[in-house]
Amino acid sequence: MKRKTLVFIALFGAFWGISEATLGAVLHALHLPLSGSILSAIGLVILLVARKLDNARGSSLMMAIIAATIKMISFSTVKLGPFIGIIMEGVLVELAMILIGPNKLGFMSAGMVVGIYPLIQNIITKSILFGSNFIPVILELAEGFSKEVGLGLGWWILGLYIGIHFAFGLVAAILAWSLQKSVRALIRNEA
Amino acid sequence: MKHSLLLLSKRFWIGLTILFGLLFLKTAPVIITIAITLIAGLTYQDAVRPLRNYKFWISIVLLVVIVPIFAGVQDTTFLGISYSSNKLDQTFLMVLRGISIFMFIQVLTIDHDSRKVENIMRRLGIKYFSELIDLSRSIIPNAEGIARTMSGKLKRSLKNGFNIRNLYDIIVDVFVDLIRLTNKFDKTELPTLSSDPEILIQLISRKKKPLLIICAGEPWSGKSHWLNTLNNSLQSKKINSAGVITVKQNISGSEYKQFLIDISTKEKRQLSATNPFPTNIKTDRFYFYEDTFQWGIDVIKNGVTSEWLIIDEVGILEQKGNGFGPAIQNIPESFEGVLLIALRKSLIAYLDQFLNEHYPIISKWQRNLILIDKREDC
């Protein structure tokens, strides 16, 4: 890897790590719901814009490793959940960029996958904690609620919950696409 | 055998006890869950801290309250509300299992020094990780500055009324600032010399003095070993050399000691350790002996008349004016030799700023770079 790429990865990885550490603490203190998705969206924007500006293979994954390490050091103790979440975000974006490329489709694909990932991690965590019956119980709840209230409301709420996650990812991807165009235009004018 | 068992940590025994409880959870779930929570809470207070967060209880309330009301066959009532006793039994057991497993995981992970994560990542040998994390460390103050500037602009923008366009422009500015910072850190204009000591000594003998040579490499790349080899070559050629070299000694696991050696007299003193002790000089990983630093400073000051003056190593402490900084500042304008300093690769980008701010005499000298890339056996 060229030195410029290494500097790029270190810088954007550090910036992402600092954002996670500081914003994460603020969101946690405010007890906001979906704080994981908000942080995930911010990370996605940084990852995608950085990848468009320097499309080096492996750079997104390395940025995630640096960001996760910096975030971990900012805690006084080891917290596996955020660490795994950040690394997985890097893995997913890296895969999207390798398979599809840093174009509009690549951005949207990365957005959808990264958007839904916090939900998947949540499901896996809950299944480990509460057992493999967790998902069937939730689906039974949705069915029961729909029958009780009518209009398939249980399924709508479940669908909305999943949809909100997708939306976070897609909005972040659209924002990232727009941002990279504006940033590149500004840099071209400066050069 | 008995001695080995006693050496196993408290965490191991508590974890094993909880695991034992988990295996028999179904026999007396309520009692075992309470016991596990008490054991975890009494041995590691922070393990039960998440219980205070409302997010911890969302899934539990969902399973124990909401699910029985809407799922399964509602065969019982409570306060006029129908619910499924079967479903409640099922979800109550799930919740007890969840709390118990959560406590087990908390006991395994709580109170670990999170800085160990970095050491583990380095040891995994992930390509470029060491270089990147060191580089990001030197970049972090600048990145924090950009984040603070963004926060200030955001607050001012919000005071004037929320405007999406302003917010967008602020975010664009942040990315542009980051790219400008990349260009700044990418600048490495130093001419590079051979790391072969024999060739280097010959080359340097023909160069104009005074001269500054930076010996740069990642941590554990072998800078100190190389400096020792170079010093041996200088001495074999009867070239007058002075200064200090550091040697690291691994005690056990991630525990290290560093020693400082006077290269003229071979006198050796302990410079630092990873185990904490009271001192005003410390970094993230090392605690330094102030009297050894003072001794090292005196060794360097006494060496300013030599042909080669070696300082291992210069870094974060010297950036703040500590460490060997006072010795370097004492190097006079009349110095006519070669000043060779060991530096972490990630700090090369800061070199101009560092020299101009703290060592203006040295900043005017011609500079050369030697890159050390070989991994040291540790």
Q: List, for residues A141-164, the tens digit of each pLDDT value.
A: 988 888 888 888 888 888 999 999
A31/B contact by beta carbon, under 8 A: yes
- Of the two residues B133 and A20, the one the predictor is more confident about is A20
Cβ atoms within 10 Å of B317's Cβ, excluding its own = 18
Q: At what angle do helices B164-186 and A3-30 cross, to 10 degrees?
A: 140
Long-range contacts of A141-149 (CB under 8 A, 24+ apart): A141/B62, A141/B66, A141/B67, A141/B70, A141/B71, A143/B71, A144/B70, A144/B71, A144/B72, A145/B70, A148/B70
B71/A contact by beta carbon, under 8 A: yes
Q: List, for residues A94-104, the tens digit of each pLDDT value.
A: 999 999 999 99
pLDDT reported for residue B5 = 55
| Residue B174 pLDDT > 70 | yes
- Report how far residue B91's alpha carbon sits from residue B63's, in angstroms, rounded to the nearest whole number: 6
Residue B206 burial (C-beta neighbours within 10 Å; 0-12, 13-18, 19+) = exposed
* Six-digit token string for A34: 């979906």
What does pTM read for this prediction? 0.68
A131/B contact by beta carbon, under 8 A: yes
- Of the two residues B339 and A32, the one the predictor is more confident about is B339
The Cα angle at residue B104 between residues B101 and B107, in degrees rounded to 5: 150
Q: List, for residues B242-297, the tens digit of each pLDDT value.
A: 999 998 888 777 788 889 999 999 999 999 888 888 888 887 778 889 899 889 99
| Cα of B35 to nearest chain A Cα, Å | 17
Q: State how beta strands B287-288 and B211-217 pair.
A: unpaired
Chain A residues near residue B172 by CB distance under 8 angstroms: 179, 182-183, 186
Sign of CA dihedral B315, B319, B323, B327: positive
Sign of CA dihedral A163, A164, A169, A170: positive
B218 phi/psi in degrees, rounded to 5: -70, 165
> Which uninterrupted H or E stretch holds A141?
helix A134-149
pLDDT reported for residue B141 = 74
The DSSP 8-state label assigned to residue B196 in this structure reads -
Helix (H, G, I), strand (E, B) or coil at B83: strand
Q: List, for residues B32-56, the tens digit of each pLDDT value.
A: 999 999 999 998 888 888 888 888 8
| Residue B76 pLDDT > 80 | yes
* Six-digit token string for A165: 């996650």
Residue A31 burial (C-beta neighbours within 10 Å; 0-12, 13-18, 19+) = exposed
pLDDT reported for residue B378 = 33
Is A10 in Cβ contact with B135 (below 8 Å)?
yes
Chain B residues near residue A22 by CB distance under 8 angstroms: 147
| Residue B115 pLDDT > 70 | no
Helix (H, G, I), strand (E, B) or coil at B69: helix
B129/A contact by beta carbon, under 8 A: yes
- Report how far residue B105's alpha carbon sits from residue B112's, in angstroms, rounded to the nearest whole number: 12
ipTM of the complex: 0.88
- Report how far residue A94's alpha carbon sits from residue A62's, in angstroms, rounded to the nearest whole number: 9
pLDDT reported for residue B377 = 34
Is A131 in Cβ contact with B97 (below 8 Å)?
yes
> Please, which pLDDT band fits residue B6 given cuts at 50, 70 and 90?
low
Query: How far from the centroid of its chain's Cα atoms is residue B193's Cα?
Result: 30
- Nearest chain B residue (CA) to A19: B147
> Please, which pLDDT band fits residue B319 given cuts at 50, 70 and 90?
low
Q: Which residues contact A76 (CB under 8 A, 6 or more apart)?
A: B114
